[in-house]
Chain A
Amino acid sequence: MTDPFGVIAVQFDAHLFFSRIFTTSSPFWGALVTTVYVSVLSQTFGTILGLFTALALRSRHRLWRILAFLYVLLVRGTPVVVQIFFIYFGANLFLGFDLFPRSADILGLSFSGPVLAGIVALSINEGAFMSEIIRAGIESIDHGQTEAALSVGMTHREAMRRIVLPQAARVIVPPLGNEFNNMIKGTSLLSFIGVYEIFQDAQTVYSADFMPVEIFAAVAFWYLVLTTIWGLIQVQIERRLGASELVEGATFSERVLGIRPRHNL
């Protein structure tokens, strides 16, 4: 076979591909666990941060609004990779001490420094995006709902917690699902600062046996598995939240395929 580019065109090695998917290598399983918990923790903290930022954006105190606005502007306007580097390397420079040591014990769990920095960076990044989603969710609820709550003697805080947020949650969950889907895939960026997650694992294997297609196809498969599981969970959450509503949520196949059944007129 002639090979004008000097690259050896080989056939797809199905055996390698499947051995990477059904791997027994313990580094891989450790990496998978890291990918999952880093995604879950970052999304959780990011959502909480986003909620407070959304409330700050609506605060009657101007200082809160300005701080929240600047945070969102800064984070949304810069690449997440830059933010990850900045947090991991920059934090130590600015603070003059090791904010993210090689390993840290938090609540009895041991985190490596890069993992900790990664969770912090991804949470901060996510918070900015979630704040916009949550703000839009809150604003989609008719103001009459709040007024009715105030009129029976609730404080603004109680009205937000008991009346507005539960209703806004239904609006927030579908885009939140998209965010978490992105988050799962976005954890691959943490390989840049040396977090051993599944993309890093794939790169390590690749650097040893130079079979990029099979190895990266296999890691892509694993991302697909994770996002598909999340898709199933999301449908259940939306069902539960929408239980009292007359409108049916989209089914899983509709969501995955992005289509709604067409009604013949």
Chain B
Amino acid sequence: MSTGDLVLRTEGVRKSFGKHEVLKGISLSMTRGEVVCIIGPSGSGKTTFLRCIDYLEPIDAGLIEVMGVRVGRRHENGRVIRPSDREGARQRGHMGFVFQRFNLWPHKTALQNVAEAPIIVRGVAKDEAHAEAERLLARVGLADKRDSYPGRLSGGQQQRVAIARALAMRPALILFDEATSALDPEMIGEVLAVMVELAAEGMTMVCVTHEMGFARQAADRVVMMDDGSIVEEGTPEQIFTASTNPRTQSFLSKIL
């Protein structure tokens, strides 16, 4: 692995909420095109770690780099340096984030949801942004829903629009935060299918997930987190069938 291909690098990321330390020094690096699935019991810090990568939460210590650019707060000689509003926005712009609860904008149509960021953030002309948004909606199988408001879409459709919205910024990396956990069972498949396709097309992805079938199929690497630390990582094969770590074994035995 050459360092030029490094998309994400985190070193010793620590995060506390009050007195409770949620992340106890997480280090994880990813190369271009890699798909990492993070698994682990609830409360293990998976979602918080994902939110820290996208600077939706400030970290207390450690470093995060995306495409070689530092993200979020930096700690130097005991001083905290916060990026400005605009710097923070630029850093997040390299990443896509897919939320558990979709968070589509209800006052905008599917097409407007997808085209908004290219127009506002990248300054793309409206016509061009709409054409691109249509292509992205077609890619997630929702070309016919372009003029629907989110309130008229099913959960699975909303999440696919949300994925198209994330793709519209042409991110180097997409973070999926339990993207299928809020869906009815019959809609999980359609969203996972889009994610599998993205993975196959070479998108770099971090997926916090409880879908072990998906992790097995799509992940290049599975990371097991427990109590704010990475307890084990390896190929899906190593984690799901050959793990000797008692915490991994205990977690898997509860959910499989």
Q: Which residue of A lies closest to B98 (CB)?
A: A151
Contact check, B103 vs A162: say whether CB atoms are below 8 A apart: no
In the complex, A153→B107 CA distance in Å? 19
Contact check, B92 vs A150: say whether CB atoms are below 8 A apart: yes
In the complex, A151→B166 CA distance in Å? 8
Given contacts A158-B89, A166-B107, A167-B107, contact A151 B97 (CB under 8 A): yes
Q: How far is the CB of B51 from chain A (nearest CB, A)?
A: 8
| Residues of B88-102 whose CB lies within 8 A of A | 88-90, 92-93, 95-97, 99, 101
- Among B88, B96, B120, max chain A CB count under 10 A is at B120
Asked if A8 lies at the interface with its beta carbon under 8 angstroms from chain B, I say no
Asked if A154 lies at the interface with its beta carbon under 8 angstroms from chain B, I say yes
A145-166 to B contact mask, C-beta < 8 Å, 1/0? 1011111111111100011001
Contact check, A152 vs B151: say whether CB atoms are below 8 A apart: no
Q: Which residues of A contact B56 (CB under 8 A)?
A: 147, 150-151
B69-100 to A contact mask, C-beta < 8 Å, 1/0? 00000000000000001101110110111010
Contact check, A244 vs B121: say whether CB atoms are below 8 A apart: no
Q: How far is the CB of B147 from chain A (nearest CB, A)?
A: 11
Given contacts A144-B103, A147-B99, contact A162 B120 (CB under 8 A): yes
Q: How far is the CB of B113 from chain A (nearest CB, A)?
A: 9
Q: Which of B89, B106, B109 contacts A167 (CB 8 A)?
A: B106
Asked if A245 lies at the interface with its beta carbon under 8 angstroms from chain B, I say yes
Q: Which of A148, A162, A246 contacts B104 (CB 8 A)?
A: A148
| Interface residues on chain A, number (Cβ under 8 Å) | 22
Say what secondary structure dominates the interface of chain A. helix
Q: Which of B86, B108, B117 contacts A152 (CB 8 A)?
A: B117
Q: Which residue of B lies closest to A164 (CB)?
A: B105
In the complex, A156→B122 CA distance in Å? 16
Contact check, B103 vs A148: say whether CB atoms are below 8 A apart: yes
Asked if B8 lies at the interface with its beta carbon under 8 angstroms from chain A, I say no
Q: Which of A153, A245, A246 contacts B92 (CB 8 A)?
A: A153
Q: How far is the CB of A253 from chain B (nearest CB, A)?
A: 26
Q: Which residues of A contact B103 (CB under 8 A)?
A: 142, 144-145, 147-148
Asked if B240 lies at the interface with its beta carbon under 8 angstroms from chain A, I say no
Q: Which residues of B contact A154 (CB under 8 A)?
A: 89, 117, 120-121
Contact check, A158 vs B149: say whether CB atoms are below 8 A apart: no
In the complex, A150→B99 CA distance in Å? 12
Q: Which of A145, A155, A166 contacts B89 (CB 8 A)?
A: A155
Q: How far is the CB of B9 from chain A (nearest CB, A)?
A: 20
Contact check, B120 vs A148: say whether CB atoms are below 8 A apart: no
Asked if B134 lies at the interface with its beta carbon under 8 angstroms from chain A, I say no
Q: Which residues of B contact A244 (CB under 8 A)?
A: 106-109, 149, 151
B104-135 to A contact mask, C-beta < 8 Å, 1/0? 11111100000011001110000000000000
Q: How far is the CB of B164 from chain A (nearest CB, A)?
A: 11
Asked if B168 lies at the interface with its beta carbon under 8 angstroms from chain A, I say yes
Contact check, B86 vs A155: say whether CB atoms are below 8 A apart: yes
Contact check, B107 vs A151: say whether CB atoms are below 8 A apart: no
In the complex, A244→B231 CA distance in Å? 47
Asked if B169 lies at the interface with its beta carbon under 8 angstroms from chain A, I say yes
Asked if B165 lies at the interface with its beta carbon under 8 angstroms from chain A, I say yes
Asked if B226 lies at the interface with its beta carbon under 8 angstroms from chain A, I say no
Q: Which residues of B contact A150 (CB under 8 A)?
A: 56, 88-89, 92
Contact check, B101 vs A144: say whether CB atoms are below 8 A apart: yes
Asked if B54 lies at the interface with its beta carbon under 8 angstroms from chain A, I say yes
Contact check, A152 vs B93: say whether CB atoms are below 8 A apart: yes
Q: Which residues of A contact B104 (CB under 8 A)?
A: 148
Contact check, A245 vs B99: say whether CB atoms are below 8 A apart: no
Contact check, A152 vs B99: say whether CB atoms are below 8 A apart: no
A–B complex contacts, Cβ < 8 Å, 21 sampled: A144-B101, A144-B103, A148-B165, A150-B56, A150-B88, A151-B54, A151-B99, A152-B117, A152-B166, A152-B169, A153-B117, A153-B169, A154-B117, A154-B120, A155-B89, A156-B85, A163-B105, A244-B106, A244-B107, A246-B151, A246-B152
Closest 8 CB pairs of A and B: A153-B93, A152-B117, A151-B97, A148-B103, A144-B103, A153-B121, A155-B89, A155-B85
- Chain B residues engaging chain A, CB cutoff 8 angstroms: 54, 56, 85-86, 88-90, 92-93, 95-97, 99, 101, 103-109, 116-117, 120-122, 149, 151-152, 162, 165-166, 168-169
- Chain A residues engaging chain B, CB cutoff 8 angstroms: 142, 144-145, 147-158, 162-163, 166-167, 244-246
Further 17 A-B residue pairs, CB within 8 A, beyond A152-B169, A154-B89, A158-B120: A144-B103, A147-B97, A147-B99, A148-B104, A148-B105, A148-B162, A149-B105, A151-B56, A151-B96, A152-B116, A153-B121, A155-B89, A156-B89, A158-B89, A162-B116, A166-B107, A245-B151
